[in-house]
Structure 1
Amino acid sequence: MDEALPKQPVFRFAPSPNGQLHLGHALSAILNHDMAQAKNGRFLLRIEDIDISRCTPEYEAAILDDLGWLGLDWERPVRRQSEHLDLYRGALGKLIDRGLVYPSFLTRGEIKARVAAFEAQGKTWPRDPDGAPVYPGDERSLPESERQRRFTRGTQHAWRLDMAKAVAKITEPLTWQEIGAGPQGETGTVVADPACWGDVILSRSDAPSSYHLAVTLDDARQGITHVVRGRDLFHATSVHRLLQHLLDLPQPLYHHHRLIPGEDGRKLSKSNRDTGIAAFRQAGKTPADIRAMIGL
């Protein structure tokens, strides 16, 4: 019997249209594009526009314009998260049915106050890899009658992964293959540690899916074989691997690349228009200049 043909590599660049692309985005987009070409693979563009309060058609048009100016070409049609909300709701529903998520009702202000009161006693509240306080999690054991009462009252809520229950579903070490490098030079087989994130949000009242859930489902649905993205998302891979395990999704290879710092040494932000690709274009820079500026 003939051996199965190797799977064609599939790469993707997935920006959010909530601001202008900057040099860090250029690095990620070009790396994905060039790696796909080098491996005779496919290069896809995905617009992560699930946050309708911040994403706009104008920013999306600017993204397409910038990428085209950089000389990149991608397959059509472009996938937009806003067109696949049923996919995210369906996956969330499966996790709810399995008792792996719970509704949380604390507001950001209430969480902040809880943490402040705790640390005022000289104690340290646990924080996730991004430095945000881990969610208290008191509502994991909230009686179903009380949950329904709050639903009936229209109390806003988010759906959070019950991390303890989810991790308990892991029967063997959860790992991923890192072909790039993490913040501390991690490469090769990396052991995932999703528990360090606490009970992450999977859905909010103002967004049908969180980044964690949507990106995991989208990568699986699009057949992504290589996830190439910045090192600021290295630790988030632990959550994505857990969701892949829970939802029986394929595992891609991961390549986390260096970040492009601003003049202050911090990660570039879309709010800094002077570092935007459009600003460099207006200043007379060429696509070759951009490649040189990002070290390619």
Structure 2
Amino acid sequence: MILRFVARRATTLAVTLLVASVVIYGALFLAPGDPATLLVGGGKPPSPALLAEIHHQYHLDEPFVQSYWRWLAAIAHGDAGQSLSYKDSVTHLLADRALNTLFLIAYATVLIVSCGVTLGTLGGLRGRWVEHLTTVVTTTLMAVPVFVSSVLLIWWMSVRVGWFPAYGSGTGFTGRLAHLTLPAVALAASWIAYVAQVTRSAVRAELASEHVQTARGRGIPERLVIRKHILRNASGPVVSVSGVAVAGLIASCAIVEQAFGINGVGALLVQSAAKQDLAVVQAVALVTVVAFAVVNTAVDLVTAALDHRIPLGERA
């Protein structure tokens, strides 16, 4: 049963990635005009010789299916092509920026899980005023867009107070930690609120459940009731929403990287799109989709493993 469930999720993931790769590569051919002129850019029309060279280099003179499989096979072997604007291989560009993005996402994930679960648990377990305060704080955080929170954090924590640098990604662990604190907070703020609200609702639902009342009636210490009967049973939706949050970070980190001048993959996507460097855009978009799909699949598997109340065969 478990192997069947894992196999079904793996098949869904493979099909999703295959369809996404077709869409991403096909966007080059769906763009108005000749894709070669988009690759060249500039104000003057390119010469026929240059267009022919680009057609040959990017296999645009081949049928779509043939050129698509050639591109996909090259991607599978770690070759994402050459960037026209950066004059470098796309794989090298991604590798050079991946560490900053991974550090930023990991930092934001730690903030989301620790702060979100703590706020939600306190709001669910404590008195009414704590619950109201948690609701006000989380609602406010959810209402502030990422780019607004980025500007506010730069103005307050960097310009006014001077506690954190406002630009760049730093070097080394401590340098990255200092430079990426504000970007991580801006990236995580709204997701902290989302995780806190889901955690609070899950904890409140478990508090009113029959098994918790039975455990308390049997005289089990309150700390054990909270740890074994409330938090453990509330972990399913919390893990699920935390996974959605991490996947959301992958999609939204470009905004924060641009705002704070971080040399990351998200900023590379924005810059390459502005320069119509489609080889880079295709590669970054594919990496983003792969990461998003893999995280969601992993969350599905973890959530299914935690929720023993539903048989694996009945889970969507």
Q: Same fold (TM over 0.5)?
A: no
User: Could you say which structure has the larger radius of gyration?
Assistant: 2
Normalising to structure 1: TM-score of the pair?
Answer: 0.29
TM-score (norm 2): 0.28
Higher strand share: 1
More helix by share: 2
